[in-house]
Structures are given as C-alpha cells and as structure tokens.
Structure 1
Amino acid sequence: MKFALLKAGTAVLGAAALALVSAPQALAATDINYDCQASTPLGPQTSALTQTVDATAPATVAPGGSFDVVVDPAAGQVPTSAAGFTIKNVNTFTLKVPVPANATFAGIALAGGSNLGGTPTATQSGGVITIKFPGPIAGGSTYELPTITAHLTAGPSGVVTSTLGGTSYSNPGLTFNTVVSTFLGNITAPTSCFPNPNPVLTSTTIG
C-alpha cells in the first residue's frame, strides 16, 4: 500500500483493501486506483492514489457453505513533505467495503499490523464492513496494515465477487486526515477517496 500526495496541504493514504477462504486460491496482485479530494483552506484539491492488493479466495464453495477471503496489504511509508510543506502526521482512517451479493456476513478478523497509533477495529452494519484505526502516523515513518480475513456464508447459487466500497467523493470508501505544516500554520485536510475503476478482487462460484 502506498501514499500519494499532491498539491499544497493535501495528502492521501492508501489503506488496506478488503476482499471478501476453505481451499484458498492465490490470485494475482491487483492495483487499485483511487480518486481523492481533500478539503483545504485553498479549496478542494484532487489527487490520485495507487494501491496494490494481494487477495486469496476459494474458486468454489458449496451452497450454504462457509468460506473466507484474505487480504494481506503491503507495508508503506508516509512521505515527509508535500508540495514543499512538511507532513506532520496522518490520522483517523476509515475503510468501507460492501458485503458481496450471494453471501452473508459471518465475521471478520484482523491480524498483525504495526505503527497504526492504536488497535484497528472492524464492524459490520447494513451490509457494509467498516475498518478503522486512529493514527497518528508521523511523516516519514513506516507502517503496516493488518491482514484482513472476512468470514462469509454462501447463498444458494451464483457467484460471490468482492470489491471495495465507494462510488464518489460524497460516497467515499476511504477517508482520513492529514496534518501539514504550511505558511498558514498547521492545517488539517480531510480527504475522501473512491476506487475508479472499482475492480473485482476475488470471485467464488457457488456450486
């Protein structure tokens, strides 16, 4: 996972992607392209973020069967500056992922991770899984997001495909704040991101 920061006082953090495993099938790494918009005293600022995701999932599952999907995000490093300004820290991260069609949510597990400023949490409500961690992560420091395992129950038929959440800046799948030192003093830039395009991360056939 990577950070991408563009324009004065803005930053974007790549976050772990959640794919929605009994006999895991290794899939090729997937690059996720996020469109991001930060709210700053200079007005809205846009930027782009590329995030690489490695996902595993079973190729097939029996109707009504239990299965998992696992994603192991790569380690990353927070940049020290953006547009000539010093990055103080990034904080308050939220990642949203929909529970896929043709499956029901049975649980989620987070394992590992480092330098996240606290223990990540995961909840599910209304068919949306929300992962949060507080930060702050100081500029220039490295971090690693936890491995994410989603436990699912297959429906009677069909294909279970997992994707990321978010469709627009007003309906983001990833949000966070960045504190940047500028000639105006320290400013906080709330940032909203969504995957564009939003690729299928895993696919499991029921049957």
Structure 2
Amino acid sequence: MKPTTRFLSAAAFVLVPLLAIGTTASAAVQTITFQLRASAVGQTSTFTFTQDVDASAPATVTAGGALTVTLTPGPNTVPTSAGGYTVNNIRGLSLSLPVPANSTYVSASLSGGSGLGSAAPSVSLQSGNIVLKVPGPIAGGAHFQLPAVSIHLTAGTSGTIATKLGGTSYDNPGLSFTANVHVLFFNVDAPSAGYPSPNPVLTTTTIG
C-alpha cells in the first residue's frame, strides 16, 4: 500500500470516533450519521460515522415566552493510534447548531466539561448559528468530555420551534476539527469537515 493511501486510511480511523454527543433529556435518543471529508498531503478521503444524540427542550411554550434547549455531550476518548500511526492530538473542534425558526436567540452558556486542553471552550452566535468551539489540543489517548450547551431562546408568535444540527455539505459543514498524526518521520495535520445526513429534528416545541 502506498504511504499516502495508508495515511488517508489512518486519517479516516482517527477522525471517526472523536466526538460523542448525548443529554439527559426525556426525548428519544437519535442516531446521526455525519458525512466527513479529510484532507492531508494533497489528498482527500471521505468517510462516515454515526453518533447518538439526545437533546432536551420543553414540549410547549407560550407566544413570546422563554425556553431553553440543552445539549450535553457524553465522555469520550481520543484514540492513541490509527492505521498503525500515532495520534498526537486533536484540536480546533467546532460544532454548530442553527438558531431554530420561529424563535429569537437570547444567549448560550456552557457548563461542565473536562480534559479539553489548555484553552477554554466557548460558545457564541455566528451568522445565525450557535457554535461550540474547543481549541484543545486534546492529546491522543486522553479522556475528555465536551461541555453542556444551554441555548436560551424567545418563542415567536405561532408554529413550532424545531432544533437540528448544522451543516449541509462539505463546504458548509456543521462539524469540523483537525487531527495531528505522526506519519513516517513527520507530524501531519488532517483537517476534517462534514455534515449530518440525514439531519433529523432533535427537539420540537409547540408555541401556543
């Protein structure tokens, strides 16, 4: 097998298991499939991974009322190796969630989380998306847990407020991060970006 081919296989194995999302919500857990594309050493590789997601939100809200949607990621572990190569770290993780229709964004906050590297995670509104960013780096083999994200909204006048993950294509991703992998005598970055397909509704709140 050529070194570049082996590397792309390694990148795919590295990137697949990095992110786990779950919450303590009463809603049913749903399994999300992300379509991802990794790029390194002038080559690209596409792959998929599935991810369980559990989200919480009230079933109903009055018109103009306040509501909170919460996503609580579960614990996870960065792999120590992939395809025979050592995983040095992952960094620059970004996960986005569009502000739902029929609602107005008020604020978002983080709580909990552990093992996320030297830089603190953040959440902010960017171009109509609530974006969780974890700079890292998170070392290969390290145990970590992303912080819970609470999104505070104001309901519109009527209709439903449906929560979904962001991302519609490789060029408009909802999930991105970079894995640094030791290949032969070099450390190589493998940026990855992708989107959920299909992208089911995670929570639904009826206004009325």
When normalised by structure 1's length, the TM-score is 0.89
Residue 195 of structure 1 is matched in structure 2 by 196
Deviations 1:150-199 (A, max 9, x none): 00000000000000000111110111110001115110011101101111
What is the SS of the residue equivalent to 1:153?
Answer: strand
What is the SS of the residue equivalent to 2:157?
Answer: coil
CA contact (8 A) 1:69 1:150 kept: yes
2:193 partner letter = S
2:103 partner letter = A
Q: Which runs of 4+ in 1 moved over 3 A?
A: none
Task: Specify whether residues 85 and 152 from structure 1 end up closer, same or farther in structure 2 by C-alpha distance, changes over 3 A only.
Answer: same
1:37 partner letter = R
Residue 3 of structure 1 is matched in structure 2 by none
CA contact (8 A) 2:79 2:140 kept: yes
Alpha-carbon distance in structure 2 between the residues aligned to 1:30 and 1:181: 34
Higher helix share: 2
Residue 11 of structure 2 is matched in structure 1 by 9
CA contact (8 A) 1:53 1:74 kept: no
CA contact (8 A) 2:56 2:203 kept: yes
Alpha-carbon distance in structure 1 between the residues aligned to 2:50 and 2:82: 17
1:8 partner letter = A
Confirm whether residue 32 of structure 1 aligns to residue 32 of structure 2: yes
**Unaligned stretches of 5+ in structure 2?**
1-7
Name the stretch that deviates more: 7-16 or 139-148.
7-16
What is the alpha-carbon root mean square deviation over aligned residues? Answer: 1.9
Residue 75 of structure 2 is matched in structure 1 by 75
**Unaligned stretches of 5+ in structure 1?**
1-5
Alpha-carbon distance in structure 1 between the residues aligned to 2:185 and 2:39: 15
Name the stretch that deviates more: 39-48 or 197-206.
39-48
Aligned 1:79-90 pairs, distance under 5 A: 79-90=79-90
Name the stretch that deviates more: 97-106 or 38-47.
38-47
2:138 partner letter = I
1:78 partner letter = V
1:119 partner letter = A
Aligned 1:1-207 pairs, distance under 5 A: 7-10=9-12, 11-12=14-15, 13-14=18-19, 16=21, 26-41=26-41, 43-117=43-117, 118-207=119-208
Deviation at 1:25, TM superposition (A): 6.6
Percent of residue pairs identical: 46
Name the stretch that deviates more: 172-181 or 44-53.
44-53
When normalised by structure 2's length, the TM-score is 0.89
